[in-house]
Amino acid sequence: MPDQSLSLAYWPLMLLAAYVLGSIPFAQVVAKAKRVDLRRVGTGNVGAGNVTQEIGRGWGAVAGLLDGFKGVIPVLIARKAGLGAGAAGMVGVAAVIGHNWSIWMRGRSGRGLATSAGVMLSLDPVLLVWTSGWAVAGWKIGGGLAGFLGWGLLPIVSISLGRPPTESVFLLLLAVVLISRRMQGNHDSSRDPAAVWRRAVYDNDLAVHDFPDTIEHPLTP
């Protein structure tokens, strides 16, 4: 059985390695193979959603899987090393931070949903059912709002299911990371407080009830 005290000693290195792995912009790599720069087309978002929109569903699925593995691998390694759910979850959060604010993309890239799903798949697949359900609901209420509810309420769901406090704290931090990236928006997004709040809830700069078309075609997915 791994020595947990030794694993904790190497925990900062695991966090750093997870961040570096998360920073690899697989969506941009896939797009570049098709001679497309995601920063200059579609939503400008370096993620699987923009790949799907601009290149096709097959390539979008490839990008999504690669981004998902960025969350799976660090958490599995951390768990194998003997870290608990909370510490291993923080390693996963580091990977999501790397994806959202990549050192290779001048500090801003995707939204982190696929990488976060990979983290949850490795750590607590049961809770992934909750977020997946909201992803399906997104077809009706809009993907941005569904993501806000699904990931934002995840810490409360964790507590209600009796998960360890350390896991619930990690999930709270993960939700903060995801919503913070949505609030940041793209390079040309408004910094008006009302616009920032709309991005947090709807993941675009316009409220869904004002512009219904954004349900099917969000401005910044």
DSSP secondary structure string, the chain?
A: ---HHHHHHTHHHHHHHHHHHHH--HHHHHHHHTT--GGGSTT---SHHHHHHHT-HHHHHHHHHHHHHHHHHHHHHHHHTT--HHHHHHHHHHHHHHHHT-GGGTT-----HHHHHHHHHHH-HHHHHHHHHHHHHHHHH-HHHHHHHHHHTHHHHHHHTT--HHHHHHHHHHHHHHHHHHHH--TT----HHHHHHHHHHSSSS-TTT-GGGGTS-S--
Question: What is the pLDDT at residue 206?
Answer: 58
Q: Flag whether the pTM goes above 0.85.
A: yes
CA distance 194 to 79: 41
Q: Is the pLDDT of residue 219 over 50?
A: no
More confident residue, 68 or 139: 68
> What is residue 215's predicted lDDT score, i.e. its pLDDT?
38
Interatomic CA distance for residues 38 and 30, integer angstroms: 10
Higher pLDDT, 20 or 110: 20
Q: Which of 105-109, 197-201, 209-213 has the lowest mean pLDDT?
A: 209-213
Kindly tell me if the per-residue pLDDT of 130 is higher than 80: yes
Q: Would you say residue 12 has pLDDT above 70?
A: yes
Of residues 122 and 208, more confidently modeled: 122
